[in-house]
Amino acid sequence: MEIEKYIQAGKIAAKVLKFASSIAKENTPLLEIAESIEEKIVELGGKLAFPANICINHIAAHDTPLHDDKRVLCKEDLVKIDIGVHIDGYIADCAISLQVNTNKHSKLIQASENALDNVVKNLNPSTKLFEIGDIIEKEITSLGFCPIRNLSGHEIDCYNLHAGLTIPNYNNRNKSLLPKAFAIEPFATPGSGIVTEGKPSGIYMLLEAKPVRNVHAREILKFIVENYKTLPFAKRWLVKKFGLLRTNLALLALEKEKIVKQFPTLVERTKQPVSQKEHTFVIKENKVIVTTLSD
């Protein structure tokens, strides 16, 4: 049953990612894109496994619009759209790279796409993790780029987006076998191949539900536990329900007590553009199935 829920989530995610590609146009507000993606996930019968990530140029990961975000897509932007869907906690995680009214990033986008495509062609239940990293590294470097070494794919479990094993984007000599559900996400860049922490992202995650004195924090913690469990959530979702002041007070108290944590954005160290492609996979009846392939 759980495998079928992974597959169901993947079908929704594939449709939503295709929809996202159609609305990511020049001058479109990032907030409008993110909210449209999230609304489409719910419309198609899924739930949000994490906020829609929209990462521009040298920002590689963990960027979602704030409630009052004024950013828009600009000509020549390289944009990564990363979405997560779950059915009863069983997650599909997928991403695509797009360029806005330009062809200047075509080769860089091709590098991450080729890397993932070649992994898919060679994947089977006996594949070892280092073999995946080796394929990704060779494909990306063959086009003159670097894989990002400190970003990786990841094992997936129920209500746990990053569970246990990490799946490298380079040959790290790890001979572990594949888990039953996992995401692979090659990142390519002409830069250093290393990301560092940037500004706070507005993306949070529950660490531990425990008593807290602040009345606003108690109310909002109850909502987080009931609606998101251990999956990442956006500050703007709470602002929409509770208002900015109550949300700020609650999150400040919850962070202080180490009940929730906020993720930083992750940026390429030399400020060079980054491309990304991602699919989710499950092992079923001794076969590897890509859950997030579009029809």
For the question of residue 38 being annotated catalytic, the response is no
- State the total domains in the chain: 2
Query: Six-digit token pair at 51?
Result: 């906020």
Task: Tell me, yes or no, whether 238 and 151 share the same domain.
Answer: no
pLDDT class of 228 with cuts at 50, 70, 90: very high
Do 169 and 215 belong together in one domain? no
279 tagged catalytic: no
Residue pLDDT, tens place only, 146-175: 999 999 999 999 999 999 899 999 999 999
Q: Do residues 161 and 81 share a domain?
A: yes
DSSP line for the chain: -HHHHHHHHHHHHHHHHHHHHHH--TT-BHHHHHHHHHHHHHHTT-EEEEEEEEEETTEEE-----TT---B--TT-EEEEEEEEEETTEEEEEEEEEESS-STTHHHHHHHHHHHHHHHHH--TT-BHHHHHHHHHHHHHHTT-EE-TT--EEE-BTTBSS-S-EE-SS-----PBP-SEEEE--EEESS-S-EEEEEEEEEEEE------S-HHHHHHHHHHHHHTTTS-EEHHHHHHHH-HHHHHHHHHHHHHTTSEEEEEEEEETT----EE-BEEEEEETTEEEETT---
Given the residues 67, 69, 117, 162, the one annotated as active site: 162
| Catalytic entry in 77, 82, 155, 157 | 82
CATH number for the domain harbouring residue 24: 3.90.230.10
Residues 96 and 226 in one domain: no
Active-site residue, from 38, 63, 77, 93: 93
State whether 9 and 98 are in the same domain.
Answer: yes
Give yes or no: 162 in active site: yes
Q: Which of 185, 216, 268, 279 is catalytic?
A: 185
Q: Does 185 qualify as catalytic in the annotation?
A: yes
The residue-averaged pLDDT of 217-228 equals 97
List the catalytic residue out of 63, 134, 155, 278: 278
Tell me what the mean pLDDT of segment 80-97 comes to.
Answer: 98
Confidence of residue 77 (pLDDT cuts 50, 70, 90): very high
Return the CATH number at 206.
1.10.10.10
Same domain, 134 and 214: no
Specify whether 276 is located in the same domain as 145.
Answer: yes
Q: What's the pLDDT at 275?
A: 98
The verdict on 216 and 142 lying in the same domain is no
Query: What does pTM read for this prediction?
Result: 0.96
Using CA atoms, how far residue 287 sits from 67, 184, 194, 282, in Å, is 42, 16, 33, 8
- Same domain flag for 147 and 121: yes
User: Average of pLDDT values for 19-41?
Assistant: 98
pLDDT given for residue 294 in this prediction: 82
pLDDT averaged over every residue in the chain: 97
Q: Label residue 1 by pLDDT band (50, 70, 90).
A: low
Whole domain around residue 47: which residue ranges?
2-190+271-290
Looking at the fold, whether 30 and 104 belong to one and the same domain comes out as yes
pLDDT for residue 98? 98
Residue 157 lies inside a defined structural domain of this protein? yes
Q: Which of 154, 216, 268, 279 is catalytic?
A: 154
**Shared-domain flag, residues 258 and 244:** yes
